[in-house]
Structure formats: structure tokens, C-alpha cells
Structure 1
Amino acid sequence: MVTGSADQTIKIWNLSNLSEKIKNRRLNIDLVKKIKKQAEEQTKEEWSISEVLNFMEKNEMDYYMPLKIPPQLNLFISKNDEWITWTNEGYFNASEKGMDFIYFHLNQGADKEAKAIPLKRLYDHFFRPDLVKLKLSGDEEAYQKAINGLDFKKALKNPPPTVTINTINTKNTNTIKDKIKISFNIKDEKGGIGLIRIYQEGKLIQTIGEGEIKRQSANLDTFIEQSKTDKMNKKSEKILMASLKPKGNVIKPKDMVGKTKIDSTQNREGEHSVEVELKAGSNNIAIEAFNKTNTVSSYRPSVNIQANIVKHKPRLYAIVAGVNNFNGKNVKALKYSENDAQAIKIATETKMKTIYADVNVSYLIGEDVTKDNILKAVQAIAKEARLEDTILFYISTHGRAIDGEFYLIPYNSKNGNDWIDFGNTFKAIQSIKSLNQIFVIDACESGKADDIVSAVYDSRASVLAKSSGVHMLLATTRGTSAFEHPNSNIKNGVFTYRILQALESPATDINGDKFISVKELATKLKEPQNNTDYQYPVIRNVGRDVELERVE
């Protein structure tokens, strides 16, 4: 049902489950107690609750709580055609200036003036077109799981700070320098100041402060798919384990020391500054700051810098790793992971040379696959890579999700503290200045890596990413196995084999522009194949597409 009111607000109501709500109404116990007391005073006898209810029913008195049906969605359209639509919890979608019309009324108490908090202040967390769409679909259970209890009322208890960029007075500026200093001001709005993050072209380039982002609403990119496969895989894996060869479960080492959880971050209020390296052309620099609990971030102001400097040809830097055997007793040997890495190395060096001016591969195989060696490879690339370059990280090994973290198992797996923490690896690679980055993980439970990435790049990140791209190609959903290929003539893991096949096929060039891009590859990986009964890849494409090879 749709209703309209004099304030130009349109409300959308879901009446499909009204009978269920009526059936589940709560007893108005306060009213029942009141009637019970009155009856006992008049009759001088004690009444049971059932007698009171019978009495109320005979006298046509409703003993249920009044039924409240909140609207599914609210829509406001201004006279100049700006619009905003929002859920009761505060999640919204809007035109460019639509959110300027909505404020939250914050009561300060009887002796204080109420505050009007603009919706823009909560933009980073509550601008969620995906959640608005989910709410409108009527799947209330999925919507409530996705928001995980966080609404605007809870967010305003610890509101995010306000960020103002001070360096440049206009929205655009020109420079002939390859670096620029950006100064900005952080104002505490009584929610404290947590992590401060700086983005260039939508890619995170710097974080100020220590702590972890604790976003309380899920990302819809993989949320619904993950929910379905979680249920399905519990049944199918038991059947398929007998005939297929999973990469296997790995026992958590007793000596593994978990991460120290930081409950809050204390950054200072006032002036801050950062130096940002520029690429030729436009550079959009944006800054956000979280509240002290790192649950809600500020509106993200930005500035555009036009750099009139030399334009560099893009190069590719890759880390390719695979390991079959491990020195830990509790880690099962793999058959094809080193084959996987070798095949990806060859494909990278041959096919991607058709796109990039130079291709540099750091190749780690067998005993060389260690946390230290991967970190050294990342550090070496960081010294050479430029903003225009692309980074590829590929690994085939065991994967294990433990205590909310995702670990890749290295050759030296005896000591759990030598395991490769993907969260730390992701942060290290993100610190490389290159704006285009691709992560490919062929490992069990690799879908857990998507949860880690989503703390940085949420469902709306592609709207903000201008000329940067961060892409995740993960073998399977969290909590499930990645399999080695069941055909004994194919010496690869299922996921890697599908990548190799897609790169060989001209049909992967979906738009027919004579290039295969990472988004086209991702589309092919998501297509139903003979393996989808037991292995579902998790794909996240944020921002700009990246070309991988030229199709002859």
C-alpha cells in the first residue's frame, strides 16, 4: 500500500504479513492488571487472569497491545525533483542533493535545546541503496540480518566526527608537482575520534591510528549468496567429500597467538596533514574519520587535484605463490597447488604482456612460500610501483578461518604464528601506491577474505572509486572447501583451472572489444559449471575494470 501526506512524503507499506502480525500481537498486560484490580475491588474476590480475559472479551474490550505497522520505506521528492528514500532504521538512497532535506531530531533533555543532525553526517554508513532495495523486496529476515542491529539511533549515541579539508578553498585545483600536501581538520562531535582514512580515486592509501573497523551492517554483494550456500554446503559436502579431493581442513596450532583486539581508537581533534603522490590527470582525494569505537564514519569530503605532469605507461607487478608440502604434521599435502602457481605465472608473463609495458613476477614455490618471503616481495614492489601500475596477488594453498581472521598456510606451518594473516597481507599490498589491485586466492574458506576487504570497500564503494579498481576472486565461500579437480588428467585446482580456461577462451571477451578484463573474467567464473554443486566462487569488483589480455 502507498500513502501520501501534505509534507510531500510518500510511504510504502507491506500488508502481506498483516495476519501474521495480528496473530503474534502481545498481551497488553498493564491493561489486564488494571481491569483485574478494578474487578477485585468491586467483587471483593480474587480473579484469575483467564477470568479477567473472559470478562474483557464479553465486554468487547481488546486485551492486546495496539498493532503498530511501520512503513517499509519513506520517499520524499522536492519541488525541484531532488529525492530521498529511507528505511525506518535510517538506511537511504538519494539523488545528488536529496539527502540535504533530511535531519535527525536529537533530544538533549528537558533543559536543553534539541539538536538537528543532518543525514549527511552519517552518509558513509547509511547511504546503502542495496539495503533499501532489500527492504523493498519484502525479505525482512534478510534485511534485519544485514543491518545487524545498527540503526541511526544507536549510531547517534556515538556520532562520527566532522571532517573539513582546509588546504584548498575550491573543489578543483591545478598543479605541476607530482606530490601535494593536504591539510584537514577533525572535529569531535562527542563520539570520539577513531581511525582516519585517506582515499585516492576511491582506493584507500593511508590510515591514521591503530584499530579495526567494526562495521555492524553486512555487505549485500555476497551476503544473500553466502546465506544460501551456507545451508546447502552442509548437506552437499558430506556427500561429495567421499568422491572429490578437497584441499582439506587444517587444525589450529596450539601456539597460535590471536590478534589483540583494540576496542577503541583515540585520535586527536584538530589539524592533520598528509602528503599524497599524484598521477597525471585528475586525482580525487577524500578523507573520512570514524567515531572512537570505529563503527560509524563521517561524511567523506573530497577535493579534485589536476596534475599536469608526465603520464607513465602502466606496468604489472605480480606475486604468484603455490605450495604442495608443509613441514607441519597436522597439515595435509596438496597435489596441484604448485602446478596452479606455475600455470598462473606462465599466463601472466605471456598474456598480460599484450597489455602492460613491463611484467614483473615474484614467483614463490614450495619451501619459498613463507610469510617473510611474501612480505619481502610486497616491500620490493612498493619501492618500484607507480600509481598507474597494477598489482596481482595470487596464491594456491590451504586456507583457514579462525577467530574472525583468515589465514593462508605457508610451507613453514609448524608454528601457527608463521601462518600468513590475509588481513595483514591485504593491508600491506593496499599500502602500495598502485591504484589497480587484483587478489586471487585458491584456498578453502577463502570467502572469509571478502569479509576483511568489506571493512574497507563496502557495497557502495564502486560509486566512489573513480579510476581505481580493487578486485577479489576467491575460490569458495567462507566455511567451505576448495577442491582439486576431480578429472585425473587435469593437474590443477578447480578454481584455478576455470581461470586458465576463461583466459584461453575468446568468449570471455563478453563486450567484444578485443580485450579480456578482470570483470569479464569474474562474470565467467560465476557462470554455472559442472562444479557449482559443491564450490561457489566469491567475487568482489570495486571500481574501475582492469584489462588482462588482448584477444587476437
Structure 2
Amino acid sequence: MPDGKLQKHLRGVGASNWAVGFSSDGQTLAWGKSIQLEWQVNDYGPLEYRLTLPTSDRPFGSPKKISPDENFRRAQTQWNDWNLRSPPDQNAVLEIRHQESIKAQIERYPHDGYEHRTYTFTPDGQHIISGGGNGYLSIYKRNGEKLGDYTGHTGDIWAVAVSPDGGLLASASDDQTVRLWNLQTRDNLLTLFHGSDGEWVAWTPSGYYIASPDGDQMIGWQINHGADKAADYVKVAQMRHTLYRPNIVANVVRQRIDIQTKVSEITKLPDFKILSPEYGSTITQQQIELKLSLSAVKTIEIYVNDRLVIPRGENALAPNHYKKTLIVRLEPGKNHLRIVAKNSIGETEKNWEVYFEGEAPENQGDLYLVAIGVSDYQDDRLDLNYAAADAHAVHDIFVAQQGKKYKKVNSVLLAAPTSSKIKEALDLFDKAGEDDTVILFLAGHGVNEDGEYYFLPYDAHKRQNRWQKSSVIKWQTLQDKLEKTRGRRILLVDTCHSGNAFNSRLVKDAADANIVVISATDRDSKADERHELKHGIFTYALLEGLNGKADLISQDKLITIKELDAYLSDKIKKLSNGHQEPVLHAPGGFKDFVFARL
């Protein structure tokens, strides 16, 4: 209506980056997105966030706020008796000074960045890095001779820093990214985008990436088909199977050399159209015929309101099969359908909404629960105090939900299990139907080795200082079982009882499969046990919440996932004095649901 009133405010989640730095050991990258009122060159704003970089025995971390006691190395304008400065109101000129004598000058012009917005010595004092306008980032000898440019940024460079060993250069830009470079070769190694919503993604020039659960929705490729045809846009998430490779990205940063890949295959992604029903249509029959037109599709998955109703294994398609009709049962009211088509190259996802107006018999659904807790290990050095007790308590509280939230509870409880017993227990999930709920609870030790995450059963053991793969449970084994299971899937994880025990891929993989994930802690903190609680902090708070303390919002004797998340976040922070922070990720388009009844 032309009344001059603001209807919508469109705002992105990106922001300019004004600061960048490295920790004293070079293993943590830091940056800031705020500009201060009284700024000056090389000090436009504070460092606010940090990301732990990978080492040979530790994967990437995830962005976290910086604590006040952390120190970082930023731009260094002084090296022994040498210093860098620009004359007042002459930022186009950078003076290289020895004591009080000007030994050389570097001047920028409109064609190469206008001004020296930020600059630093390298740790050995032999080279100078300068960032200017329009993405110009350059390296010079100490005598002012230019050696070359670091090409990639598209906005003004506001901050630079060099790692203490002189191997990595970090730059922060107006283009909303932070980049890592090989200082010597000038090759871009990694580009990081960190959104105000907490989602993030970091990618190599070849397209390999790491990301938060929804971070890979923010970047992609535009595919042009000529001046007279509309371009296509392919999200990098569609190539997840090929390009989501945390191990490769970690190796790029550690070895400081990009690893090439072919992205030309993005034109071979699966494609499909939804022929019927129409988007937003109202339907009076509970079952609908979902008609699809397909191209290069191998398998299809279908979710209704976050429940997996048709697993991909049931719909393997022949290469020449171009049409498919599937029967889908709706819930009363609004139904959010998520259709995922896959092939060997990647996947294509479409979201559809329809409304069911009509009566439907209430189906309580069953609960399928596997609770695993390992306190006692063959290797006594691994023993925990309360992991087994945690599994017992979680098992019992959900068994008590039979006849309340769930029609029937089917459960397996494992304390001190072997790897074979765990794999056998997971077969329980094969019996779940589309109306059912599936919960996997894990308490014990988790470890990272070669970038992979493993859960340690009772009989886990090492040989020549490496975990024997036959004695541990690879995360992918758990992931694959949940991914193929019908119904609503929930993963409760309390496996971070030692340093280097969390792998962010755990949450990412589960989230991509539409699994609700609640983890006891994040990458940079440890899950604690407390003798006075007789449980781990996470499980203690979980039990309290399910016993009624999480009934916060409507106080209707129903515990929803969102209520439980709010309670866990607050309670765990209090119990741990802020040292432990739980992680919950729900699928995109998540619809809150009742988890337990009082």
C-alpha cells in the first residue's frame, strides 16, 4: 500500500572486518567486526572472535568469542630499530624508517589501492605487508621494492597480521571476509565468512570447505548459460558429498598449499520438478500423490515436518526413470515437505508446503531408544565416574514416558559395551516407522584421529599409539544408521570428557541429515562430571529438565525441544561457571515438537 510506511527491512548477516591477529603460538586466528570511534591505522577496532586452526592431532575449531585474558599478535610496525609510518594526512605514502631516518618510501596510486590502510613487518623484519583500497594487498622488501600482490579480496583491506613463524598472512576486509595466505608463495589458502547469526563457512580456492550446520547455504556458484538465458545458482551445500572435506581443508592450512579439485561436475547435479500438488494448496485427503519429474536422480528422500517418511534406500531409480509418484501421509494443518534428490555428484533439495484440512486419527507413535554409557574401560586410564550412570538415568526417564508421550518405548541400555554390541544395538532403529521418535544417547569418551571422530567402547585399545579401528566405533557408523532411520531422529551426545574430544563435523553431518543434535559441549570446552551431582553436568541438567524444570514457556506439563534447549543452555552454564556450553542444532525450517509429558 503506497502509504510510505516501512514494510520490510532486508539485512544480511555479514559485516566488514576491521581487525585480525594470531595467538602467540600461531594456532589461533582472531578477528573483529566492530569499528571504534577513535580509530587509527592498524587499530580500527578490537579483536572479538577466534578460530582454532588445525594441527596434526586436532581438527578445526569453530568461531568463539574472545575472552578478556587472551592475547593476540596484530600488525607490527616496529622491528628492532626500524619502524613504519605514514606522514600526517598522507596515507598514500608509507615511510620505512631506520631510527629517525627515512630509508625508503612506498607510494600507492588510484590504480593500486589509493592508500596504505594497514601495514606490518614480517617477524624477521625483512619484508613489509601493506593493504590498501579495492582489495589491494602487497608485499615489499624492506628497501621498498615490490615483490607482488595477494589477489582475492574485493573490498578495502583494514587489517593484516603475520603468524609468529612467518608462514601465514591473515587479512581482514570490507568484503566481509577474513583470508589466510601463504606468505611466501602469495597463494590464498582459506577464506572465512562469519555471519552475525553464528553461521560460518571457510573454503579453499578449489572449493573444499568446512562450515557450521547451515553455513554452506551462504556460498555457491553462478552458472551462466549465455546472454539471453537465465543463470543458475548452485549452493555449495549441494556438492557437500564431494566438497565438504574438513580433512582436506585442514591439510591445506597445515601444509600451506591448495589442493586442486574439479568443480565442473556441478552441471551434473540431480534436477527435479514437483508436478503436484501445487505449492500452498489445501488438501482434504490425508494421503497425497507427490508427482515428480526427474533428471539425473539416483535416490530420493522425503521429510514431513522434519520426520523422515521415505528413506533414500527405498527409492533407487534407474538412470532412465524420469517420472515418479510417491504416496506421502500428511499431518493436520501445515505440512512442510523437504524433498532431497541425490546422485554420485551431489544433491538438490526443494521445500514445499501444503495444508491438510480434515480429521486424522491421533497417532502417538513409539519411541526407539538406545542409551550407551561407558565408565569402565579395559584400559583403566580411560575410566570415567558417571557415564554409565548417565545412560541408566536417561534410559529410565524415557522408559517412564511409555503411555504418556509415547505409545510404547522400545529400548536398549548398554553399559561397558564392546564395539560389536553397540553395532548390534543400533539395529533396533530399523523397526521405527514414520510416526515414531528415535533417540541415541552416548556418554563416554570420544576421540579424534586423522580428522575422524570415534566413540570408545569398553574394549577400545591402541597399537603403536594409534587406536585400532576394529575396537572403536567410527562416527560414520552411527551417522549412517540414524540417517536411514524413519521418523524423528534425536542425538544426545556427552562424549567430550578430555581435550581434543569434539569434532564439529559430528554436528554438521547430523544436521545435514535432518537430525536434531544436542551436544554436551562445543569444540573448545570439556564436558565435566561432578561428584556432588553423581552425573555429568549435561546429563544432570537434562534429567532436571525432563523432570519438569524445562516446562518454562507455557507451563502446560509438556516439554518441547526448544524449552529443553533454553533450560540446558542456562543450567549448564551456571553449573560449569560458564566453562561448558551445550550445542543444539535443529534442521532448517524446524518445527518445535513435544519431547516429553509430565
Using structure 1 for the length normalisation, give the TM-score: 0.55
Is 2:230 the counterpart of 1:116?
yes
Is 2:436 the counterpart of 1:389?
yes
Match of 1:523 in 2: 566
Looking at structure 2, the residues matched to 19 and 293 of structure 1 have their Cα atoms a distance apart, in angstroms, of: 47
Is 2:430 the counterpart of 1:378?
no
Match of 1:485 in 2: 530
Alignment-mate amino acid for residue 426 of structure 1: Q
Equivalent residues of 1:450, 1:540 under 8 A apart: no
Alignment CA distance shift 1:538-1:185 (3 Å): same
CA-CA distance at 1:346 after TM superposition: 1.9
CA-CA distance at 1:63 after TM superposition: 8.2
CA-CA distance at 1:452 after TM superposition: 3.3
- CA RMSD after TM alignment: 5.1
Looking at structure 2, the residues matched to 273 and 92 of structure 1 have their Cα atoms a distance apart, in angstroms, of: 39
Is 2:399 the counterpart of 1:363?
no
1:451 to 489, 505, 509: 505
Question: Which 5+ residue runs of structure 2 have no aligned equivalent?
Answer: 1-9, 19-34, 45-74, 77-101, 115-132, 136-153, 157-174, 178-190, 197-219, 240-252, 254-261, 462-467
Looking at structure 2, the residues matched to 440 and 474 of structure 1 have their Cα atoms a distance apart, in angstroms, of: 6
Equivalent residues of 2:494, 2:520 under 8 A apart: yes
CA-CA distance at 1:531 after TM superposition: 0.7
Percent identity for Structure 1 against Structure 2: 20
Match of 1:185 in 2: 294
Looking at structure 1, the residues matched to 407 and 222 of structure 2 have their Cα atoms a distance apart, in angstroms, of: 56
Is 2:396 the counterpart of 1:349?
no
Match of 2:457 in 1: 410
SS in 2 for 1:354: coil
Alignment-mate amino acid for residue 421 of structure 2: N
Is 2:339 the counterpart of 1:287?
yes
Question: Which 5+ residue runs of structure 1 have no aligned equivalent?
Answer: 1-8, 25-50, 73-85, 94-102, 127-144, 146-153, 188-192, 210-266, 462-468
Match of 1:540 in 2: 585
Equivalent residues of 1:163, 1:300 under 8 A apart: no
Instruction: Compare the two structures and name the one with the higher helix fraction.
Output: 1
Looking at structure 1, the residues matched to 355 and 439 of structure 2 have their Cα atoms a distance apart, in angstroms, of: 27
Equivalent residues of 2:522, 2:581 under 8 A apart: yes
Equivalent residues of 2:549, 2:567 under 8 A apart: no
2:490 to 431, 438, 447: 438
Equivalent residues of 1:280, 1:308 under 8 A apart: no
Alignment CA distance shift 1:308-1:407 (3 Å): farther
Alignment CA distance shift 1:420-1:124 (3 Å): closer
CA-CA distance at 1:323 after TM superposition: 1.9
Alignment CA distance shift 1:268-1:303 (3 Å): farther
1:245-394 equivalences under 5 Å are 271=322, 273=324, 278=329, 281=332, 284-289=336-341, 294=346, 297-298=347-348, 300=350, 302=352, 304=354, 311-327=362-378, 329=379, 332-351=382-401, 353-366=403-416, 369-383=417-431, 385-394=432-441
CA-CA distance at 1:394 after TM superposition: 1.0
Alignment CA distance shift 1:186-1:509 (3 Å): same
1:472-511 equivalences under 5 Å are 472-478=517-523, 480-487=525-532, 490-506=533-549, 508-511=551-554
Is 2:557 the counterpart of 1:514?
yes
Using structure 2 for the length normalisation, give the TM-score: 0.51
Looking at structure 2, the residues matched to 279 and 92 of structure 1 have their Cα atoms a distance apart, in angstroms, of: 35
How many matched pairs?
Answer: 385
Equivalent residues of 2:511, 2:517 under 8 A apart: no
CA-CA distance at 1:510 after TM superposition: 3.1
Match of 2:276 in 1: 168
Residues 110-163 of structure 1: per-residue CA shift (max 9 Å, x gap): xx75753145x549679xxxxxxxxxxxxxxxxxx9xxxxxxxx9788456362
SS in 1 for 2:535: coil
Alignment CA distance shift 1:300-1:456 (3 Å): farther
Residues 508-533 of structure 1: per-residue CA shift (max 9 Å, x gap): 43332222222212111111313144
CA-CA distance at 1:412 after TM superposition: 2.4
Considering Cα pairs closer than 8 Å and 6+ residues apart, tell me whether 1 or 2 has the greater RCO.
Answer: 1
Looking at structure 2, the residues matched to 510 and 362 of structure 1 have their Cα atoms a distance apart, in angstroms, of: 32
Alignment CA distance shift 1:105-1:408 (3 Å): closer
Equivalent residues of 2:388, 2:443 under 8 A apart: yes
Alignment CA distance shift 1:502-1:161 (3 Å): same
Looking at structure 2, the residues matched to 447 and 173 of structure 1 have their Cα atoms a distance apart, in angstroms, of: 48
